[in-house]
């Protein structure tokens, strides 16, 4: 079964899972039909659209950006929640003439009256500059105690509290795709370097294996940035990998 009812389309599967592959393959028409007329799209490079007249041009711009970089897509993880699904992957594409591996995630949030909002998270470098991106609306978001302790430890600058939720072999994958293992101290150093960080929760999808937390992050001296933290649990029950997505 798919997660939303929509006009007939060649795209099958959960919308969060098929969205980025459709853009990478240039299947904009099929994706537009799948979205229908009750969708809103929010993209970090091309902005926001919430009508058929504006969604199709936005999809075309994103697809063109991926095509210009010769992008290919590799799926990493899917997470299904009560009111939203998340899909994570990696783009291999040329940016500024350099071949890069770009982490990318999309959240499909189901709303009332069969409305759907899709938010994309990835760090790219558009030729025409970025579109302003609004912060996410804060929401009461119950988190598993393990995840809450890590998030609250980061928010309060309590490094040891945050680190205690990670396995010894754990690592962080940052928004640029760089690895920060705990074993050599790089994970702790990365969390410490985040500095004075406020995390304003907006929603979550948690299937018991992976917890994808949407939030607006606020750093002193800079604006508000929508972000996604994906906590993947290991066999121990602690976090074995934290994947970060923001601009």
Whether domain 15-122 has CATH 3.30.930.10: the reply is: no
pLDDT, mean of residues 119-141: 80
Candidate from 74-83, 100-109, 128-137, 161-170 with smallest mean pLDDT: 128-137
pLDDT, mean of residues 193-205: 88
pLDDT at 7 exceeding the cut of 60: no
Average pLDDT, the chain: 90
Topology (CATH level 3) of domain 145-245: Nuclear Transport Factor 2; Chain: A, (3.10.450)
pLDDT at 114 exceeding the cut of 90: no
Distances (CA, A) of 206 to 4, 137, 147: 19, 19, 10
166 in Cβ contact with 182 (< 8 Å): yes
Instruction: Write out pLDDT tens, residues 149-173.
Output: 999 998 888 999 999 999 999 999 9
CATH topology match: 15-122 vs 145-245 = yes
| Best CA proximity match to 29, nearest among 57, 65, 71, 68 | 57
pLDDT, mean of residues 128-157: 86
What residue spans define the domains of the chain?
15-122, 145-245
pLDDT category of residue 130 using cuts at 50, 70 and 90: low
pLDDT category of residue 5 using cuts at 50, 70 and 90: very low
pLDDT category of residue 52 using cuts at 50, 70 and 90: confident
pLDDT, mean of residues 179-195: 93
Per-residue model confidence (pLDDT) at position 4: 44
pLDDT, mean of residues 107-125: 90
Per-residue model confidence (pLDDT) at position 51: 85
Contacts of 177 (CB under 8 A, 6+ apart): 90, 100, 101, 102, 103
3 in Cβ contact with 108 (< 8 Å): yes
Instruction: Write out pLDDT tens, residues 12-43.
Output: 899 999 999 999 999 999 999 999 888 999 99
Candidate from 89-93, 220-224, 242-246 with smallest mean pLDDT: 220-224
3-state secondary structure of 125: coil
| Best CA proximity match to 213, nearest among 151, 154, 159, 123 | 151
pLDDT at 1 exceeding the cut of 60: no
The percent of residues in the chain predicted with pLDDT above 70, rounded, is: 91
């Amino acid at each position: 079964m798919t997660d939303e009812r929509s006009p007939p389309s060649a795209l099958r599967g959960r919308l969060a899972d098929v969205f980025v592959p459709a853009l990478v393959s240039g299947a904009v028409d099929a994706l537009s039909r799948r979205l229908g007329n009750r969708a809103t799209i929010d993209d970090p490079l091309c902005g926001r659209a919430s009508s058929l007249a504006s969604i199709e041009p936005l999809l075309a711009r994103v697809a063109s950006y991926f095509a210009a970089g010769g992008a290919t897509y590799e799926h990493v993880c899917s997470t299904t929640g009560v009111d939203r699904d998340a899909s994570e992957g990696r783009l291999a594409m040329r940016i500024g003439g350099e071949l890069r591996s770009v982490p990318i995630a999309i959240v499909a949030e189901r709303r009332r009256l069969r409305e759907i909002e899709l938010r994309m998270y990835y760090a790219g470098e558009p030729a025409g500059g970025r579109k302003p991106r609004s912060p996410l609306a804060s929401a009461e978001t119950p988190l598993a105690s393990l995840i809450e302790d890590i998030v609250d430890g980061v928010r309060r600058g309590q490094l040891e509290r945050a680190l205690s939720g990670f396995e010894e072999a754990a690592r962080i994958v940052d928004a640029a795709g760089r690895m920060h293992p705990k074993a050599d101290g790089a994970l702790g150093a990365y969390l410490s370097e985040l500095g004075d960080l406020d995390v304003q929760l907006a929603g979550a999808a948690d299937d018991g294996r992976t917890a994808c937390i949407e939030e607006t992050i606020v750093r002193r001296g800079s604006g508000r940035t929508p972000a996604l933290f994906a906590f993947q649990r290991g066999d121990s029950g602690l976090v074995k990998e934290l994947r970060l997505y923001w601009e």
